[in-house]
A and B are shown apart, each in its own frame.
Chain A
Amino acid sequence: MREEAVMNAQAIERHLKRMALEIHERAQGGELAIVGIRRGGVHLAKRLGHELALATGREAPLGTLDIALYRDDLSERASAPVVGPTDIKFSVSGKTILLVDDVLYTGRTVRAALDELVDFGRPRRVLLAVLIDRGGRELPIAPDVVGARLEVPEPEQVEVRLTEEGAKGDEVIVKSRGPA
């Protein structure tokens, strides 16, 4: 397994700051709430929330969504996927919901997240923010705010490592099979 770092901590921070400004602009006129998709989106949602609070002076409510119960591949898998906690304490109805994930790939996770979100109520609008869009969509889903777009061929994996999850420093890496 070969690993190549494609984004360092400063770049991630720069992207998040810019994303926060874009989100602020796009979410004007609505009451914003942020929902991170587990697991990769949770800490990014928190960081974006912090940046947005600096820009707007207001703290948006923060929630967490685990999509395991909304997956479309339960009967195709050897074992049932692990289900983590979902935690949305505010009403989503009428709000502008910012969905946050680390990497956007096939779009299936976002499809599941949208289905789950609307079971909590009827948001006025839903925006999708991702740090990395790696292409390879299998569903008609597009992000509204993107940190960086990378063309990564299928067998390779994109991983966002953050200090909140025990990484030494923030970085984005691409993992591929091949000579080390």
Chain B
Amino acid sequence: MIGRHRHLIGLEDLSREEILQILTLSTSMKEVLRRPLKKVPTLRGKAIVNLFFEASTRTRTSFETAAKILSADAVNWTAATSSVSKGETLLDTARNIEAMRPDVLVIRHPAGGAPGFIAARVACAVVSAGDGAHEHPSQGLLDLYTLAEHLTRVGGAPPQAPPDFDTLAGKTVTIVGDVTHSRVARSNLHGLTKLGAKVRVCGPPTMIPPGIEALGASVHYHLRPAVEGADAVMMLRIQHERIGDPLLPGTREYSKVWGLNERKVKEWLKPSCAILHPGPINRGVELSPEVADGPQSVILEQVENGVAVRMAILYLVSGGAPDQSTEGAARA
């Protein structure tokens, strides 16, 4: 259970306290991840199915690694090699997998709402690993964790100190790119505003959804004013299928107007500004290679924190069912 929730579908559903519960636990999980023997028996005997209807190596591997460190059995089920190509419906697939008695279903689906749809119809816990242009909650959480870690360090804390999630309050984070089609942007927007950060979104007008101000973001169409003074900049991946589409004329133009290179970073960004990217990077499009590998990039920290955050998520959704009694829990 994450607070009151049996499932993790989106950060929109979570309260500030529930988000903090996951983030605080992630610090303990990160310590496990850095031990010489990276294995704890916590979820022994639990079965976790990664049900992926869309290609994703990073997120699937991250969930799989998280499950294995916690001693759960992780099974991967990928649409390309499965009965989906034979015409099975989403619900039939989910019911068939449910009949194999998993404890947690991790679902990635190209249609927004698919994990929520399945969560309402199965007995096990459901964790969204990204659905359409809706949300990518574990990515949003790992971004919050990485940002807090960076801000805690910049704030002068000793190097071993755990991240202080209150440091996000009042800070400015700019999200740049195809915000309309980005589930990463949407999860971050919900998470960041709940932790008190100010969010700016920036991109070509064709890629900023109308009405996004209602979610608490300020809108910019030019990169410079959007990133100046920001404490962190999150560059979204430009999806190749959008290129040539009326939304975006070409990668060269995109890179020139909305991409970050060394010169822009030096002239426009604060020296302490962190640069994030959910991966995989289009080198030379959103980020020049010098920026992606530069001192302000926290992209590889994001990947490491992703495993810790997903361990925390799997641990919380595996623990207990709503109607069980707590009796005997205090005996130690």
Q: Which residues of A contact B318 (CB under 8 A)?
A: 74, 80
Interface residues of B in 227-254 (CB under 8 A from A): none
Kindly supply a per-residue 1/0 record for chain B positions 158-169, scoring 1 wherever the CB is within 8 Å of any chain A CB and 0 otherwise. Answer: 000010000000
A119 touches B35 (CB 8 A): yes
Which residues 290-332 of B have a CB within 8 angstroms of A?
A: 315-316, 318-322, 324-326, 328-332
CB of A76 within 8 A of CB of B319, answer no
Are B332 and A85 in contact, CB atoms less than 8 angstroms apart? no
Interface string of A98-114 (1 = CB under 8 A from B): 00000001101100000
Say whether A85 contacts B319, CB under 8 Å: no
Main secondary structure of the interface of A (DSSP, over half): loop
In the assembled complex, which residues on chain A have CB atoms less than 8 Å from the CB atom of B207?
none
- Cβ-closest chain B residue relative to A85: B28
Q: Which of A68, A81, A119 has the most CB of B within 10 A?
A: A119
Judged by a CB distance under 8 angstroms, whether A10 is at the interface is: no
B1 to A79, Cβ gap below 8 A? yes
Contact B324 A78 (CB under 8 A): yes
Q: Is the CB of A77 within 8 A of B37?
A: no
A66 touches B28 (CB 8 A): yes
Is B329's CB under 8 angstroms from A77's CB? Answer: yes
Enumerate chain A residues within 8 angstroms of B25, measured Cβ to Cβ.
Answer: 82-83
Known interface pairs A69-B32, A85-B31, A86-B28. Does A80 touch B41 (Cβ–Cβ under 8 Å)?
no
Residues of A within 8 A of B76 (CB): none
A69 contacts B320, C-beta separation under 8 Å: no
**CA–CA, A82 and B27, complex, Å:** 12
Chain B residues positioned under 8 Å from A70 (CB to CB): 40-42
Minimum CB–CB distance from A101 to chain B (whole Å) comes to 9
The answer to whether A120 and B37 touch (CB under 8 A), given A80-B320, A105-B331, A106-B332, is yes
Is B27's CB under 8 angstroms from A69's CB? Answer: no
B328 touches A76 (CB 8 A): yes
Q: Chain A nearest CB: distance from B128 CB in Å?
A: 19
> Measured between alpha carbons, how far is A14 from B35 in the docked complex, in Å?
37
Q: Do A85 and B1 have beta carbons less than 8 Å apart? A: no
- Whether the pair B319, A80 counts as a contact (CB closer than 8 A) is yes
A75 beta carbon closer than 8 Å to chain B: yes
Complex CA distance for A81 and B332, rounded to whole angstroms: 12
Q: Bound state CA distance, A163 and B40, in angstroms?
A: 33
**Contact residue among A85, A106, A108 (Cβ-Cβ distance under 8 Å from B162):** A85
> Nearest chain-B residue to A108 (Cβ)?
B332
Is B39 interfacial (CB 8 A cutoff)? yes
Do B42 and A84 have beta carbons less than 8 Å apart? no
Given A85-B27, A85-B162: A79 in contact with B332 (beta carbons within 8 A): no
Partner of B320, one of A79, A85, A106, A120: A79
Per the bound structure, the CA–CA distance linking A116 and B37 in Å amounts to 10
Q: Digit string of A28-62 for contact with B (CB within 8 Å is 1, else 0)?
A: 00000000000000000000000000000000000
A74 contacts which chain B residues (CB < 8 A)? 42-43, 318-320
Kindly list chain A residues whose C-beta atoms are within 8 Å of the C-beta of B332: 105-106, 108-109
Chain B minimum-CB-distance residue to A88: B35
Chain A residue with Cβ nearest B21: A82
| A118 to B: closest C-beta gap in Å | 9
A78 near B325 with CB under 8 A, answer: yes
In angstroms, Cα B29 to Cα A84, docked, is 10
Q: Are B40 and A76 in contact (CB under 8 A)?
A: no
Which residue on A lies nearest to B43, using beta carbons?
A: A74
Residues in chain A within 8 A of chain B (CB atoms): 66, 68-71, 73-87, 105-106, 108-109, 115-116, 119-121, 157
Q: What are 17 A-B pairs at a CB distance below 8 A?
A: A69-B32, A69-B40, A69-B315, A73-B328, A73-B329, A74-B42, A74-B43, A78-B1, A78-B321, A79-B1, A79-B320, A80-B318, A86-B32, A105-B332, A106-B331, A116-B40, A157-B330
6 cross-chain pairs, A with B, having the tightest CB-CB distances, nearest first: A80-B319, A69-B40, A83-B28, A69-B42, A109-B332, A78-B320
